[in-house]
Amino acid sequence: MRTRAKLLFLTSLLFLPFACRAQLVDIFKREFEIGGTGGIGIHRYASVTGPAGTASIGFGTQAAGGALIGENLYRYIGGEFRYTYRAGDLTVKSGGQEASLDGHAHAMHYDFLFHATNREARIRPFAAVGSGIKLYEGTGRETVTQPFSRSVLLTKTDQWEPLVSFGGGVKFMVSNNVQFRVDFRDYLTPTPDKLFVPAGRGEVKGWLHDFVPLFGISYVFR
């Protein structure tokens, strides 16, 4: 039995370099991807408290679009840098009334992608998680009086916030190098309190969720 075990051990040592080589080939056989996306952004509103009570604050539902540069690092794991432009006015709602100020946002982040199928598959569902930063900008003209000035003021300024990205999607290879993809992201950030300034001793409560479904097309360099 000991002789057989020794032979098995020696045989495994002989095949070890080939196994290691196969893993190294899998690691360094990277596929790169570049593409663009377009869709829509839908915010879940946060809230602000002030002398006049509580109001809902966030950004209006408008178009979204961007670009990505990705790589398939391993058979099932990849990563990508993403930029997403998000149109959307600063909006405050309370008591059935609404006020807004022109604005938009820029999200920049890196996501890890965990695929359900290997990189040779034509259809690849995936989950995504990542982090980055988001720039919120108020671009409209401020007025001396605002409808909800006793609760919150909308301001023409900009503010950077940390961003956490969750989501997923599906990739479809339509040719050897062209890929169609459907993505969904939830961009989660603290509410920018320089754009939504509470009145008096008011307080901004909650984080902003920006739900962004996107369609895209990309070119894969094999």
Q: What is the predicted pLDDT for the residue at 144? A: 66
Task: Please give the CATH topology (third level) of the domain spanning 31-221.
Answer: Porin (2.40.160)
Nearest to 135 by CA among 205, 210, 204, 197: 210
Question: Using an 8 Å Cβ cutoff, are 186 and 207 in contact?
Answer: no
* 99-158 residue pLDDT tens: 889 999 999 999 999 999 998 899 999 999 999 999 999 998 877 677 777 788 889 999
Whether the pTM exceeds 0.85: the reply is no
| Pick from 49-63, 69-83, 158-172: least confident | 49-63
Q: What is the DSSP letter of 45?
A: P
Cα gap 171→185, rounded to integer Å: 15
Residues 6+ apart with CB under 8 A from 162: 131, 132, 133, 134, 189, 190
